[in-house]
Amino acid sequence: MRTTQYLLGTLKENPANAEVVSHQLMLRAGMVRRVAAGLYTWTPTGLKVLRKVEQIVREEMAAAGALEILMPMVQPADLWQESGRWEDYGPELLRLKDRHQREFVLGPTHEEVISELVRKEISSYKQLPMNLFQIQTKFRDEIRPRFGVMRSREFIMKDAYSFHTSDACLEKTYQAMYDAYTRIFTRLGLNFRPVIADTGSIGGDMSHEFHVLASSGEDAIAFSTESDYAANVELAEAVAPSTPRDEATQELNKQATPNVKTIDDLVSQFNVAIEQTVKTLIVHGTDDHGEPTLVALVIRGDHSLNEIKAAKIKGVLSPLVFATEEEIQAAVGAGPGSLGPVGLKLRTIVDRSAAVLSDFVTGANDDGYHYFGVNWERDAACTEVEDLRDVVEGDPSPCGKGTVRIARGIEVGHIFQLGTTYSDAMKVSVLNESGKSQNLAMGCYGIGVSRIVAAAIEQHHDDKGIIWPEATAPFQVCILPMNMHKSVRVKEVAENLYSELQAAGFDVLFDDRKERPGVMFADMELVGVPHTIVIGERNLDEKAVEYTARNSSEKVKMPIEDVVSYLKGL
């Protein structure tokens, strides 16, 4: 491709409204343009990268035995009503009507459509297992789209769905997908980790997320320092402390703390260690008779509540709903800044780490007062102990080996064993070997294709621009002729090399613009082309050109006739 015939679209200045580096670079390198919130046009350079990612995903899915299909983006509402998600999905599901006033949705995912297909097409266990995938545009009406294509409303996803007559068979395909995903992200040149994940609203038993490690990632991941264990912090277990609770040494005493509204106030004004404080959070729940009630959750002052863990406790509303200040006042008689387990008349669930404290400090359920020297059993009941908090750096690893380290990741893939949730709702069944109708076990496997492009840039860039891994670079090589418009020799060598490289199968960008050298260098570095050949009068007397790799500052002078074989050998 010649730059004079190409839409390069590079920007010298950083666009406003682009927060993360991948978003900035995608705009500056001319890969995408914003159309509306969370909606982007992929311009030629961006589309080339996107297609390369798609192709790798497609090849590895096919190699793992999945069959490619293409389902519609617009889906009839009745399928969603059948699965129950018409009600459950909420405002993220964009609903629309056609000219006959029939209701449709813009597909955020395709479990319903695939179930509809499979229940019609597959009728015998002999046709199973089957794994079908597509690479399709999805639409999710995100509350807050951000970070460019990283969290957009319209995005491209590879989604696969597998169907089985037994859990053992599902597990086998699940493992095959796990392995395929590992190959895909390896081929893409990404530093990634599979992590144990929450199954979330989609349900099911077993789930892994694949995360590209990057400081800008939206998810926190807990790793073991000594094993392969990795889990999303949402899910990672905070192991119960092995040391038993110390004996009480202090008397319970109530002190006036008029200016204390938060744990930080308490720590700074009364000289107590934050680890010796306890905070109490009030959430909505139901009692044994299913009646609405409030539940108190107690965690150590320096820890933070894990809402997913809390919501999984029986009798706690899921998703978690915090009590309002008015509700707390009505139930306890004190404001949120003065709550504590002593004398509290609500069901109280204590976090494992809070449960081993002694002589601790907590609110007195009386505005402006705290209890000091509090001890469990003696001063407050501690009957229910659960894992309620996020793990923190230095905790013992849940796997039993090493301690926890926290890193940030961008979720680029997610695989689930769904079981029969959808096939029960959608009646996806076949006749099994004994001639009985059986609902199918199902797995689903997603990869955020467009998100991968952004994630790759987060991981591979410097202050000059993008540094594409070989596999996803928009062009493999670029030719930069110095003052070609003044030098017949330079033009001739550049044109010849351009033809030769193309003939040898390289995707090459030939910068034939009448631009100053600095402009060309800056643009090619911004776009991130991995290999650059510079042709200038300076070296032509020796019939030589100069090679540089994007990921190195080293300049290599080489004879013109060696260029093709040199690049082939890389």
Interface contacts to RNA, rule CB under 7 A: 10-17, 19, 34, 36-38, 92, 109, 138, 140, 142-147, 155, 157, 159, 200-202, 209, 218, 307, 319-320, 411, 414, 416, 446-448, 451, 464, 482-483, 485-486, 516-519, 521-523, 525-526, 534-539, 545-546, 548, 555
Q: How far is the CB of 371 from RNA (least distance, A)?
A: 28
Q: Tell the residue number behind the tokens 């089957």, with chain if given.
A: 130
Comparing CB distances to RNA, the nearer of 40 and 372 is 40
Q: How far is the CB of 226 from RNA (least distance, A)?
A: 28
What is the Cα–Cα distance from 525 to 532, expressed in whole angstroms?
A: 9
HSE of 140, CA atoms in CB hemisphere, 13 A: 19
Comparing CB distances to RNA, the nearer of 34 and 389 is 34
Comparing CB distances to RNA, the nearer of 352 and 414 is 414
Do the Cβ atoms of 498 and 5 come closer than 8 Å? no
Comparing CB distances to RNA, the nearer of 88 and 287 is 88
Q: How far is the CB of 361 from RNA (least distance, A)?
A: 25
Do the Cβ atoms of 270 and 259 come closer than 8 Å? no
Comparing CB distances to RNA, the nearer of 51 and 245 is 51
Comparing CB distances to RNA, the nearer of 361 and 441 is 441
If DSSP codes are grouped into helix, strand and coil, which group holds residue 499? helix
Q: How far is the CB of 172 from RNA (least distance, A)?
A: 21
Comparing CB distances to RNA, the nearer of 246 and 537 is 537
Residue length, the chain? 570
Burial zone of 278 (CB within 10 Å; 0-12 exposed, 13-18 middle, 19+ buried): buried
What is the Cα–Cα distance from 295 to 275, expressed in whole angstroms?
A: 23
Q: How far is the CB of 144 from RNA (least distance, A)?
A: 4
Provide the pairing of β-strand 347-351 with 292-300.
parallel
Do the Cβ atoms of 24 and 464 come closer than 8 Å? no
Q: How far is the CB of 60 from RNA (least distance, A)?
A: 16
- In whole angstroms, how far apart are CA 295 and each of 146, 292, 328, 375? 35, 10, 11, 21
Comparing CB distances to RNA, the nearer of 179 and 537 is 537
Q: How far is the CB of 296 from RNA (least distance, A)?
A: 18
Q: How far is the CB of 321 from RNA (least distance, A)?
A: 9
Comparing CB distances to RNA, the nearer of 142 and 167 is 142
Alpha helices in 96-151 (DSSP H): 111-121
Strand pairing partners for 292? 286
What is the Cα–Cα distance from 139 to 156, expressed in whole angstroms?
A: 9
Comparing CB distances to RNA, the nearer of 223 and 416 is 416
Comparing CB distances to RNA, the nearer of 341 and 465 is 465
Q: Tell the residue number behind the tokens 């387990």, with chain if given.
A: 341
Q: How far is the CB of 239 from RNA (least distance, A)?
A: 24
What is the Cα–Cα distance from 377 to 412, expressed in whole angstroms?
A: 47
Q: Tell me: cis bond preceding 129? Omega within 30 of 0 counts.
A: yes
What is the Cα–Cα distance from 288 to 262, expressed in whole angstroms?
A: 32
Comparing CB distances to RNA, the nearer of 379 and 523 is 523
Q: How is residue 225 annotated by DSSP?
A: S
Q: How is residue 2 annotated by DSSP?
A: B
Q: How far is the CB of 465 from RNA (least distance, A)?
A: 7
What is the Cα–Cα distance from 421 to 472, expressed in whole angstroms?
A: 37
Comparing CB distances to RNA, the nearer of 311 and 471 is 311
Look up residue 176 and give its amino acid.
A
Q: Cβ–Cβ contacts within 10 Å for residue 214, how many? A: 24
If DSSP codes are grouped into helix, strand and coil, which group holds residue 260? coil
Q: How far is the CB of 171 from RNA (least distance, A)?
A: 19
Could you tell me the two tokens for 419? 């079981």
Q: What is the 3-state secondary structure (H, E, C) of 152-183?
A: CCEEEEEEEEEEECCHHHHHHHHHHHHHHHHH
What is the Cα–Cα distance from 135 to 76, expressed in whole angstroms?
A: 20
What is the Cα–Cα distance from 445 to 178, expressed in whole angstroms?
A: 9
What is the Cα–Cα distance from 406 to 225, expressed in whole angstroms?
A: 10
Do the Cβ atoms of 452 and 53 come closer than 8 Å? yes
Nearest to 443 by CA among 181, 59, 60, 186: 181
Q: How far is the CB of 209 from RNA (least distance, A)?
A: 7
What is the Cα–Cα distance from 564 to 479, expressed in whole angstroms?
A: 12
Q: How far is the CB of 174 from RNA (least distance, A)?
A: 15
Q: How far is the CB of 451 from RNA (least distance, A)?
A: 6
Comparing CB distances to RNA, the nearer of 507 and 546 is 546
